Amino acid sequence: MGGFKHLVVVKFKEDVVVEEILKGMEKLVSEVDAVKSFEWGQDIESQEMLRQGYTHAFLMTFEKKEDYTAFTSHPSHIEFSATFVTAIDKFVVLDFPSVLAKSPA
């Protein structure tokens, strides 16, 4: 893997239908070639002391930082982001060159 990562950790508002948000996100990544891979998950351990209200993580991988920068100004991303921010209660976003310290065998 490696590459440049865009990580979003989220707590959604209570009345949000997460499946709809996910559909929009999957459409978005399918429309933007720069997004090399996209994976997400919902925390199942439910230890509030650890997750602190956050429930979902979304992780996109780009080949390089420039591709991520281009993605942020892509019309599909701008359109999706406008919807996304209305759905979330709180979030943390980290963008970083990934260091692969142990590779899959």
**99 is written with which tokens?**
């260091």
Position 18 contacts a copy of itself (CB under 8 A) = no
Cα(first)–Cα(last) distance of the chain, in Å? 13
Q: How far apart are CA 22 and CA 27, in angstroms?
A: 8
The torsion defined by the Cα of 29, 31, 35 and 38, in degrees rounded to 10, comes to 20
CB of 68 to a copy of itself, least distance (A): 9
Position 2 contacts a copy of itself (CB under 8 A) = yes
**32 is written with which tokens?**
């933007």
**Residue closer to a copy of itself, measured from CB, 17 or 92:** 92
CB of 62 to a copy of itself, least distance (A): 11
**80 is written with which tokens?**
């999706």
Stretch that binds a copy of itself, among 12-20, 76-84, 87-95 (CB under 8 A): 87-95
Residue 36's φ and ψ, nearest 5 degrees, are -75, -40
Return residues touching a copy of itself (CB under 8 A).
Answer: 1-2, 5, 7, 9, 22, 25-26, 29-30, 35-45, 47, 50-52, 54-57, 59, 61, 65, 91-105
